[in-house]
Structure 1
Amino acid sequence: MQLLRSGPSPFVRKVLVTLHETSQYDDVEHIDVATTPLTPDSKLIAANPVGKIPALVRSDGPTIYDSRVICRFLDARAGGGLYPEHRIWDTLTLEATADGILDAAVLMVYETRFRPEEKVMMEWVEGQWGKVSRALDALNTRWMSHLNGRMDMGHIAVACALGYLDLRHDARSWRTGRDGLAAWFDTFSKRDSMVASQPDP
């Protein structure tokens, strides 16, 4: 299998953490691609017509893409138990919440990185941060009992989302007023899989 990936992508990091946690990291050839929304990589487009990373190229079937699909495939392949049936809807909702944070946080970066300065719409940027902030509040109030339980894909997704906020939106100080979530992340981020997948700035 080949994993098409790119630097600090938090969606790629979800897959990397999953590979480490399920002892499959060495089963995959890691291929870095240089891609942006404006200049997608040709190899990536050949694998994923949407042109997004990550994409997992398989020898025995079609390429699969979207981090949620890849992570579920890898978990099933290894029998890792990261999607426990007895609480599957909670796990999937928590993963979707984390991915919603990432979608908004990445769009904030894109708005200032790929648009001319005079066309950047700060009201739109703040609207995206509003999504992030509400989701963080929900994690801190509704989801701590789940996060403090047995690890599943929800834990991995949330940790990668919070790590990305530290990487790209540290000035927003997401920890303020969210002591429980901050303490949980400080502990979870010390896992070997999180340390091994820490992206460069």
Structure 2
Amino acid sequence: MPLKVILADDHPLVLVGGTLALRNAHIDVVGEAKNAEELLTLLKTTPCDVVITDFLMPSEREDDGLVLIDRLAKEHPDVAIVVLTMINRAAALNSMLKKGARGIVDKRASMDELAVAAKAVHTGETYLSDTLLDILNEADENSVAMPGTPLSLRETEVLKAFVNGKSLQEIADSEGKSVKTISRQKRDAMRKLGVNHDSLLKDTARDLGLI
């Protein structure tokens, strides 16, 4: 029996091109979705072996990004997840894998790579585009703290407040904590994310769905 795949992306050209590439590789595309809600609804009635989904798709509900991967992994444990993304930050890529993605494909790669990834994850392998694998390998070699280490609840709250424009003093005042404590929590969060400068922090937080 052919491998059954559902493809989800909010860009029509990706759906058309991806579907064509998969079918040319003798993979059966049994469904297409334009957002997370459509994907989750489709999965209730359409059995498949692999879901290939864009990481961030516009949605009125907060069920995109890491939240979507986590939900797919929990509700459909027998379905392998491949993520399509333009994101190239090690912390975000590691988080996708930790949440349950078995494959991550760089959206700048050839559409033919979708079939390679689908077949690989269906057999139990982990698949990453070469460009993304290089990023993870470099991060592993250079980071003091492993990117992708889960943030604590307090670190997440401090990070959210900071990237949304609050100063460390304002966060400390609202939490009844010292600036020293808030600064340490922010610094620890940055180390876990593999970020060494405030200018990169907002982009990383956005990649992770924190803002």
Structure 1-normalised TM-score? 0.30
Task: Return the structure number with greater helix share.
Answer: 1
Task: Return the structure number with greater strand share.
Answer: 2
Structure 2-normalised TM-score? 0.29
Higher Rg: 2
